[in-house]
Amino acid sequence: MQTTVLFLRILFGILFCFAGIMHIIRPNFFKNFIPDFLPKLTINYVFGLLEFLLGLGVFFDTTIKNAAIGIFILLLIFLPIHIWDATKVRPAIGSKKIAFIRIPLQFVLMYCTYIIYLNS
């Protein structure tokens, strides 16, 4: 189990740091994920910074549990946005098929953060 948790920590650390950086350097990519009634650029930068910091937190033993909880909460917050996106005529990510696949994938990612939390 230690090897699995180490693999998940590295994977989530890289993915979330990368996603956080992409929020900063490519904000236009994420604008269609953010509902129109919210300040798109501000939300994009705030969540990009959060993703980067949580991804970084996964690498350190002193912050791993808090980072895993934070990532879980972030994935929970993103779930309604993925559902909303899947119901749109033109989903932000591309095809409707991909938009619908992202929904169960979100639960898999949440489960992985739970595994990280329990075993760290």
What pLDDT, on the 0 to 100 scale, is given for residue 35?
Answer: 83
Residues across the chain: 120
Sequence-distant (≥ 6) Cβ neighbours of residue 51 within 8 angstroms = 16, 17, 19, 20, 23, 74
What pLDDT, on the 0 to 100 scale, is given for residue 33?
Answer: 84
- From residue 16, alpha-carbon distances to 6, 57, 88 in Å are 15, 10, 26
What pLDDT, on the 0 to 100 scale, is given for residue 1?
Answer: 82
pLDDT in tens, 5-31: 999 999 999 999 999 999 999 999 888
Closest CA relative to residue 30, chosen from 13, 42, 14: 42
What pLDDT, on the 0 to 100 scale, is given for residue 14?
Answer: 97
Residues of the chain with pLDDT below 50 are: none
Specify the pTM. Answer: 0.90
Distance CA 18, CA 12 (A): 10
